């Protein structure tokens, strides 16, 4: 194995899910190989950090500032990490027996890959994939993210259908192993996303620079999901819609954007119809407001796009790397949002 020194970084907002997460790490990990860091993004002290230290006295705590979001939290943890390999783990996730060695083996076997994702299954229904990352993140030709094992609201039972390791487009931020050096070279997480899809942005930038993102299905992590933001909350729906547009503006070529963005605007119509039919105002409202937000924030987005492009060019080893993987499935529905 390339290096058995791993830093586990857990971004934390509120709640004793953190202690449950750490208990799984203690049970299922050789702690002589790892350091565990909690990136404390609490807006107020609810005592959960102290109770987490009772579970793991060697826990390192890095203060983020309070309510700054997922990107800021994991960036603080990555900067503090002492190891060349960093595993990001959501505080509402649990690792399973034998989860770490397959990831380390994959890192040794693929030294030029930047990110590795374990198979992520539901904590509530362990035989079923998790909604977020499932068996690896993909993106279709219209720029809508989905995952192997989950398309739209249909989540598959894990029958081993994705047990062959493969290249993927993105890895879920709540369960990903990354090489700190590669991530630092192309830029850390874009904190302006605040929450949702910043990991897709990072993986996309890495792929543009010639690095691979890979799935490691022999490693399994269980994820509860929706602990920080409820799945039906306005904030979650809004961030998914807005950030998907930001993702495209930052990473696609101008020639692609000239036809894709008008088409995506037209596809708001089916989203509105779907929302009306299901008595759901959140998705239609977010779908309408997202392109308006893009237009009113263009100067900021242009700066972010240029900064990302500069970092990619600086480190790029293969400028012919495709914007999306060749094995991405075609789009299936306009209302898709991760």
What CATH number matches the domain at 6-223, 3.90.550.10, 3.30.360.10, 1.10.10.60, 3.40.50.460?
A: 3.90.550.10
Coil/strand/helix, residue 137: strand
Backbone angles phi, psi at 295, to 5 degrees: -60, -40
Q: Are 204 and 197 in contact (CB under 8 A)?
A: no
pLDDT at 271: 83
What are the boundaries of each domain within the chain? 6-223, 234-296
* Structure confidence at residue 275 (pLDDT): 81
pLDDT of residue 322: 44
Predicted pLDDT of residue 281: 84
Question: In this structure, are residues 111 and 74 in contact, taking their beta carbons and an 8 Å threshold?
Answer: no
At 226 the pLDDT is 63
- pTM exceeds 0.75, yes or no: yes
How far is Cα 282 from Cα 174, in angstroms, rounded to an integer?
25
Block mean pLDDT (10 aa), the chain, length 338: 74 95 97 94 94 97 93 97 97 97 97 97 96 94 94 90 97 97 94 94 95 98 77 85 96 96 93 82 90 95 93 65 40 37
Residue 51 tokens read as 């109770």
């Amino acid at each position: 194995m390339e290096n058995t020194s791993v830093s586990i970084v857990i971004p934390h907002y509120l709640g004793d899910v953190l202690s449950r997460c750490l208990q799984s790490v203690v049970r299922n990990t050789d702690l002589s190989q790892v350091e565990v860091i909690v990136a404390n993004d609490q807006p107020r002290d609810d005592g959960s950090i102290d109770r987490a230290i009772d579970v793991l006295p060697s826990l390192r705590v890095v203060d983020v500032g309070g309510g700054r979001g997922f990107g800021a939290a994991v960036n603080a943890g990555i900067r503090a990490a002492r190891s060349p390999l960093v595993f990001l783990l959501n505080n509402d996730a649990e690792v399973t027996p034998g989860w770490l060695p397959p990831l380390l083996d994959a890192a040794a076997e693929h030294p030029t890959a930047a990110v590795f994702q374990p198979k992520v299954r539901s904590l509530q229904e362990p035989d079923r994939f998790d909604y977020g990352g499932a068996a690896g993140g993909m993106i279709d030709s219209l720029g809508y993210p989905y995952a192997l094992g989950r398309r739209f609201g249909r989540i598959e039972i894990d029958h081993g259908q994705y047990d062959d390791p493969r290249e993927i487009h993105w890895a879920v931020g709540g369960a990903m192993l990354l090489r700190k050096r590669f991530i630092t070279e192309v830029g850390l997480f874009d904190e302006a996303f605040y929450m949702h899809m910043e990991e897709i942005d990072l993986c996309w930038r890495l792929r543009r620079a010639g690095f691979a993102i890979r799935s490691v299905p022999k490693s399994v992590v269980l994820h509860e999901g929706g602990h920080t933001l409820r799945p039906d909350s306005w904030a979650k729906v809004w961030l998914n819609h807005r950030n998907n547009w930001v993702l495209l503006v930052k990473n696609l070529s101008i020639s692609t954007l000239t036809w894709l963005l008008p088409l995506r605007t037209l596809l708001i119509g089916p989203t509105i119809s779907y929302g009306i039919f299901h008595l759901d105002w959140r998705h239609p409202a977010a779908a309408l407001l997202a392109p308006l937000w893009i237009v009113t924030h263009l100067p900021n987005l242009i700066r972010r796009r240029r900064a990302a492009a500069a970092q990619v060019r600086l480190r790029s080893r293969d400028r012919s790397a495709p914007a999306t993987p060749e094995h991405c499935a075609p789009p299936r529905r306009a209302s898709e949002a991760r």
